[in-house]
Structure 1
Amino acid sequence: MSIKRDVTGLWIGSLLAGMLLSGATAAAETYQVDPVHSYVLFRVKHLDIGYSYGRFPGPAGVIQWDDAAPEKSRVEMSVDVASVDTDVEKRDQHLKSADFFDVEQHPAITFRSTSIKKTGDETFAVAGDLTLLGKTRPVTAVVRRTGAGKDPWGQYRIGFETVFTIQRSAWGMNFMLNGVSDAVDITVSVEGIRQ
């Protein structure tokens, strides 16, 4: 998944729950997201001075990929919000509270693609629905295929990466906008294992 900043006011992703995909064509192959080699990272500006970074380890998901007709492909991903990790326990606990992610009410962030269009040799415009805090908003990101091939154990893998930006307030996350930026930069790097 490649790199384009989507500043249309929408955040994360790319990303999100291990659900099966419907309506995939026979030519498409199914890849399970490898949670050990996949990453969902984010950064936000603090006091408009420096950046703070965090991640959601172990994302889950399914990629239905049709190499001959990428527009027939689909992706679904999710992250467990309670896994948020900024390397500062006190901050992580605050992020889990109702001020930010409200983990008790909204335990997952999910992404489900609605269209995929080839834009270059290894790049694709992926549009979809991002659900955060119980609200679903459209997002679009440019995704780059980073590689494909067999691993040493004979499993076939495919990799994608994207970087995009959302505005957290579009999902109703309005706490401390004067101290923590509204814009959130998200990186999603995924390896999928063919099933």
Structure 2
Amino acid sequence: MTILNRFTPFFLATGLMVFSSFALSAPVKYEIDTKGMHASINFKIQHLGYSWLTGRFDQFGGDFTYDKENVSNSEVNVTIDTNSINTNHAERDKHLRSNDFLDVKKFPKATFVSSSIEKTGDKTLAVKGKLTLHGVTKTIEIDAQKVGEGKDPWGGYRAGFSGTTLIKLADYGITYNLGPASANVYFQLNLEGVRQ
């Protein structure tokens, strides 16, 4: 038996270990689970400085890629149907869809596409990217955290993240006068994805 033959099993085993390690650390793609309503995009804005008005977007979709070994390889893409805005008040929602605010006939979609994701703590992330809303694209940062991941009861594998950010309406060309207390909108994103 030659030296090469004697060490062939060793080389093969080492190669398999390296390949397995690479495969385990590769980015994993998840589709956001909107069918089961295990994701939500919520917002709140002050009303006259006296209380909070809350709402959500009922229709959205997208995906995210998560690399637990190298978070900088991760990314997220979300598309929102602006016509699906819901504040639990039909007349107000009609006004919000008008050209005073979202102008949904002209701008039926809003999108967020990440440009960088940085790990900031054990389960916390800084997600930077481009938000396009009302025809305007601006860079925003989302303070995010990993909620968890694991198998589901239906044979799939899921991961979930939550994040918050604040935007100034005027930055997106929405200048309807709501008073100084209502210049900013706070968003909360809860994204649960199913591994593809």
Match status 1:145 vs 2:146: yes
Match status 1:45 vs 2:57: no
Match status 1:33 vs 2:68: no
The corresponding residue for 1:63 is 64
Which residue identity lines up with residue 118 of structure 2 in the other structure?
A: K
Contact 2:48 2:178 in 1 (8 A): no
Q: Distance in 2 between matches of 1:46 and 1:190?
A: 27
The corresponding residue for 2:115 is 114
Which residue identity lines up with residue 33 of structure 2 in the other structure?
A: D
Contact 1:127 1:138 in 2 (8 A): yes
Q: Give, in angstroms, the shift of residue 48 of structure 1.
A: 1.2
The answer for unaligned runs of 5 or more in structure 1 is: 1-25
Q: Distance in 2 between matches of 1:168 and 1:150?
A: 39
Greater relative contact order (Cα 8 A, min sep 6): structure 1 or 2?
Answer: 1
Q: Give, in angstroms, the shift of residue 120 of structure 1.
A: 0.6
Deviation per CA, 1:111-130: give whole Å up to 9, x if none.
00000011011111100000
Q: Give, in angstroms, the shift of residue 177 of structure 1.
A: 3.1
Which residue identity lines up with residue 114 of structure 2 in the other structure?
A: S
Report the structure number with the largest CA radius of gyration.
Answer: 2
Q: Output the aligned Cα RMSD.
A: 1.3
Aligned length: 170
> For 1:95, what is the secondary structure of its paired residue?
helix
Match status 1:172 vs 2:173: yes
The corresponding residue for 1:128 is 129
The answer for unaligned runs of 5 or more in structure 2 is: 1-24
Q: Give, in angstroms, the shift of residue 179 of structure 1.
A: 7.2
Deviation per CA, 1:12-67: give whole Å up to 9, x if none.
xxxxxxxxxxxxxx911110000121100001111111111110024201101111
Structure 1 window deviating more from structure 2 (175-184 vs 94-103): it is 175-184
Q: TM-score, normalised by structure 1?
A: 0.84
Runs of 4+ in 1 over 3 A off after TM superposition: none
Contact 1:150 1:156 in 2 (8 A): yes
Match status 1:157 vs 2:158: yes
Q: Give, in angstroms, the shift of residue 150 of structure 1.
A: 0.8
Match status 1:85 vs 2:96: no
Q: Give, in angstroms, the shift of residue 170 of structure 1.
A: 0.5
Q: Give, in angstroms, the shift of residue 142 of structure 1.
A: 1.4
Contact 2:119 2:126 in 1 (8 A): yes
Q: Distance in 1 between matches of 2:130 and 2:180?
A: 28
The corresponding residue for 1:99 is 100
Q: Cα distance 1:122–1:31, how it changes in 2: closer, same or farther (>3 A)?
A: same
Contact 1:38 1:58 in 2 (8 A): no
Q: Give, in angstroms, the shift of residue 180 of structure 1.
A: 6.6
Q: TM-score, normalised by structure 2?
A: 0.84
| Aligned-residue identity in percent | 38
Q: Distance in 1 between matches of 2:136 and 2:180?
A: 23
Which residue identity lines up with residue 145 of structure 2 in the other structure?
A: R
Deviation per CA, 1:160-190: give whole Å up to 9, x if none.
0012211111111110232770110110001
